[in-house]
């Protein structure tokens, strides 16, 4: 199956770290020709200097923090993270640029944190509260990095054009379920449909509503469905994910009309430029609820999960799992397969079982771009 799911390598390219790019080019050069002793010495020296600079920076921040008279501990939420510092929103909506205490770990957008205000107006994060859930990004080296925390809703955006293959919709749903988050679907750009086409499309997507996924037809052009979308997001911390071009940015602009202004206000309040690299941002929705967005969040894809965890992520399979004759049933041609039985009795849609097999096969094969 060929999908538009980006490979982990292309995911990384959203966050080019200047340092690692430099190191990579050094490594490439090293591979091309043997280094003279002088060159090796120079590289080592550069690395030592870099390390010393980083240590000095850290020590400087720590000294600043010690010198300052810090206020009492308060609760807040990370609304943007820049690596070495974060923007924390206090319960009254005030924004504070905060440094991080050493050995704190990395707070990410959506984290609930304890922080203290400093005498110079900025603050320091002293504790990260435990996370209810986290969106994890798989790195090409096999490592993992959280990019957003404490999400409770994932909206999978699909469109009338470009259409999203069912297999890819299932991958998004499975990825969300695997995080323990119940997703919903947004069918955007319904203004492009001829009369009667919507009913047809809804019928083909009814497989999802039958198993409990809400489907919200919407259009950013006619504003159709936006109230239903607001209701689905209300009171939650959500992300909108989906293929490129389905209209996620357009939907976010409709939901948060001041999204640009808000970004500018954030930058102004915290004294950082608009183009400061940030991994993600949390936007308050008018009313109640918040939306976390970033290019990385939008590229949300199914990570490399153990094959045994794929089945339960197909929610309608759950009552049948564990009831096959063979404990290691692959749900293909084995006799006494409870999932096949459920397909025969129309309790499971055969397309969903086929999707399940494609996902398990792609995980086993480890094809790049399919994970
Ligand atoms: P993203 O890549 O998912 O963020 O998609 P964008 O928000 O950038 O939208 C991709 C294209 O679809 C843009 O040209 C939008 O103007 C267009 N678009 C977004 N929503 C709608 C819609 O509801 N109807 C129509 N006709 N076009 C839309
Ligand atoms: Zn089976």
Nearest ligand 1 atom, CA 188 = 23
Q: What is the pTM of this model?
A: 0.77
pLDDT tens for 199-208 read 999 999 999 9
**Is the separation of the CB atoms in 228 and 251 below 8 Å?**
no
Report in angstroms the alpha-carbon separations of 1 from 81, 156, 170, 232: 36, 20, 13, 31
Pocket of ligand 1 (CB under 6 A): 188-189, 191-192, 219-221, 244-250
Residue whose structure tokens are 């998004």: 172
* Half-sphere exposure of residue 350: CA atoms within 13 angstroms, side-chain side: 3
Q: How far is the CA of 318 from the centre of ligand 2 (A)?
A: 12
- Residue 368 has a pLDDT of 42
Report the distance separating Cα 158 and Cα 352, nearest Å: 17
* Dihedral sign of CA atoms 20, 24, 25, 29 in order: positive
> How far is residue 74's CA from residue 71's CA, in Å, rounded to a whole number?
9
Residue 4 Cα to ligand 2 middle (Å)? 30
Cα 99 to Cα 56, 91, 106, 127, 224, distances in angstroms: 15, 19, 11, 12, 43
Q: What is the CA(338)–ligand 2 centre distance, in A?
A: 5
Q: Which atom of ligand 1 is nearest to the CA of 242?
A: 3
Give the H/E segment covering residue 202: helix 197-204
For 35, residues 6+ apart whose C-beta sits below 8 A from its C-beta are 43
Quick one: pLDDT at residue 58? 65
Rounded Cα gap, residues 132 and 126, in angstroms: 19
Q: What is the pLDDT of residue 346?
A: 97
Q: Which of 188, 189, 239, 250 to mutate to test the pocket of ligand 1 (most atoms within 8 A of CB)?
A: 250
Residue nearest to atom 25 of ligand 1 (CA): 189
Q: How far is the CA of 222 from the centre of ligand 1 (A)?
A: 12
Q: Cβ atoms within 10 A of the Cβ of 102, count?
A: 10
Give the 3-state secondary structure of 35-70: CCHHHHHHHHHHHHHHHHHHHHHHHHHHHHHHHCCC
Query: Is residue 314 classed as helix, strand or coil in its secondary structure?
Result: coil
Confidence (pLDDT) at 165: 94
Substitution candidate for ligand 1 out of 158, 242, 247 with most atoms within 8 A of CB: 247
pLDDT at 142: 77
CA of 347 to the centre of ligand 2 (A): 14
The DSSP letter of residue 109 is B
- Interior/surface letters 207-227, b for 16+ CB within 10 angstroms, e for the rest: bbeebebebbbbbbeeebbbe
Which regions in the chain score pLDDT beneath 50?
1-33, 261, 272-276, 367-371
Residues with CB under 5 A from ligand 2 (ion): 324, 329, 331, 337, 339
d(CA 298, CA 276): 19
Ligand 2 centroid–CA 366 distance in Å is 23
Distance (Å, whole) CA 164 – CA 146: 26
Q: How many CA atoms lie within 13 A of 61 on its CB side?
A: 16
* Span 251-297, pLDDT tens digits: 999 998 776 645 555 555 555 444 445 568 899 998 889 999 887 77
User: What b/e sequence results for 311-347 when a residue is b if at least 16 CB atoms lie within 10 Å of its CB, and e otherwise?
Assistant: bebbebbeebeeebeeeebebeeeeebbbbebbeeeb
Determine contact, residues 258/252, Cβ cutoff 8 Å: no
Predicted local distance difference test score (pLDDT) of residue 266: 54
pLDDT at 269: 54
Rounded-to-integer distance, Cα 327 and Cα 32, Å: 52
């Amino acid at each position: 199956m060929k999908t538009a799911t980006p490979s982990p390598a292309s995911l990384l390219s959203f966050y080019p770290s200047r340092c690692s790019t430099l190191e990579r080019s050094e490594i490439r050069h090293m591979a091309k020709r043997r280094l003279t002793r002088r060159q090796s010495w120079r590289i080592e020296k550069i690395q030592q200097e870099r390390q010393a600079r980083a240590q000095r920076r850290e020590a400087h921040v720590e000294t600043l923090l010690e010198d300052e008279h810090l206020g009492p501990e308060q609760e807040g939420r990370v609304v943007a993270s820049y690596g070495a510092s974060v923007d924390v929103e206090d319960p009254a909506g005030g924004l504070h640029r905060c440094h991080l205490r050493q050995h704190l770990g990395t707070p990410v957008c959506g984290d609930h944190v304890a922080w203290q205000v400093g005498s110079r107006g900025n603050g320091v994060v002293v504790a990260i509260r435990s996370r209810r859930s986290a969106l994890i990004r798989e790195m090409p080296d096999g490592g993992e990095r959280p990019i957003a925390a404490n999400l409770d809703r994932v909206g999978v955006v699909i469109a009338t054009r470009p259409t999203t293959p069912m297999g890819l919709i299932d991958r998004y749903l499975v990825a969300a379920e695997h995080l323990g988050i119940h997703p919903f679907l947004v069918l955007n750009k319904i203004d492009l449909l001829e009369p009667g086409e919507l009913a047809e499309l809804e019928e083909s997507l009814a497989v999802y509503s039958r198993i409990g996924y809400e489907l919200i037809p919407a259009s950013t052009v006619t504003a159709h469905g936006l109230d239903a979308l607001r209701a689905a997001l209300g009171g939650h911390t959500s992300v909108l994910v989906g293929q490129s071009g389905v209209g996620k940015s357009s939907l976010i602009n409709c939901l948060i009309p001041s999204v640009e202004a808000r970004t500018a206000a954030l930058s102004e309040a915290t004294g950082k430029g608009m183009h400061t690299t940030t991994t993600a941002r949390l936007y308050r929705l008018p009313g109640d609820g918040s939306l976390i967005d970033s290019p990385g969040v939008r590229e949300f894809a199914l990570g490399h999960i153990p094959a045994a965890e794929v089945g339960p992520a197909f929610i309608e399979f759950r009552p049948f799992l564990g009831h096959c004759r063979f404990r290691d049933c692959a749900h293909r041609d084995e006799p006494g397969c409870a999932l096949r039985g459920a397909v025969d009795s129309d309790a499971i849609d055969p397309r969903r079982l086929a999707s399940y097999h494609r996902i398990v096969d792609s995980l086993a094969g480890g094809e790049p771009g399919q994970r």
